[in-house]
Amino acid sequence: MTKAEDILNREIARMNLHLPALRPTLSQLLAEEEPSVRLRDGSYHYFRRSELEYLMGLVDGDECERLKVPIVLEISTLHRGYFRVRGRVEVKVIDKILGTYSILAERDEELYPRYLLPRIRRALPTTTTYAFIAE
C-alpha cells in the first residue's frame, strides 16, 4: 500500500468514528428502556422510541430480529452520485419509505440516487447513519 493510500484509509477511518461498534437488532433496541448503541469513538447514540416503533410497522413478523439498526447509508468513492444500502430487510425498509417497494423485487443490496438522502434522513433521523467507503 502506498503512503497516499495509507493516509486516505486513516482519514476515512477517522471520518467513520461516528459508526456503532456493533449494530443491534430492532427487537433488541425495543426491549431496552433507553435504546442506544456505543459508537467507535466511545460515545453513545440514542434512538427515538417513536422512530423504532415506526420501523417495526414497516417490517413483517421475524424481520425485527434481522433488521440491524442504525441502517447504514454507504457513501462510496466508486459510485458517484449514489449511496448503497446492504441487507435484505434494510433495503426493504428504505424502499418502503421511498414508495418503491415490490415484494417481487426484494434485493440484498441496492444503489439509490444521492438526492434521496434528505428524504430518508427526514423519515429516519436517529435510525440511519452515513458510512464513508473507499473502493
- How far CA 57 is from CA of 50, 63, 90, in Å, comes to 11, 11, 13
Across the range 36-51, mean pLDDT stands at 96
Across the range 21-45, mean pLDDT stands at 96
Q: What is the pLDDT of residues 65-101, one digit of tens each?
A: 999 999 999 998 888 899 999 999 999 999 999 999 9
- Per-residue confidence (pLDDT) for residue 64, from 0 to 100: 96
Cβ(71)–Cβ(45) under 8 Å? no
- Per-residue confidence (pLDDT) for residue 8, from 0 to 100: 80
Pairing of strands 44-46, 36-38: antiparallel
- Per-residue confidence (pLDDT) for residue 1, from 0 to 100: 65
**CA–CA dist 126, 80 (Å, integer):** 25
Q: 98 versus 135: which is more confidently predicted?
A: 98
Q: Is the pLDDT of residue 135 over 80?
A: no
Instruction: Residue 109: count other Cβ atoms within 10 Å of its Cβ.
Output: 12
Across the range 94-123, mean pLDDT stands at 94
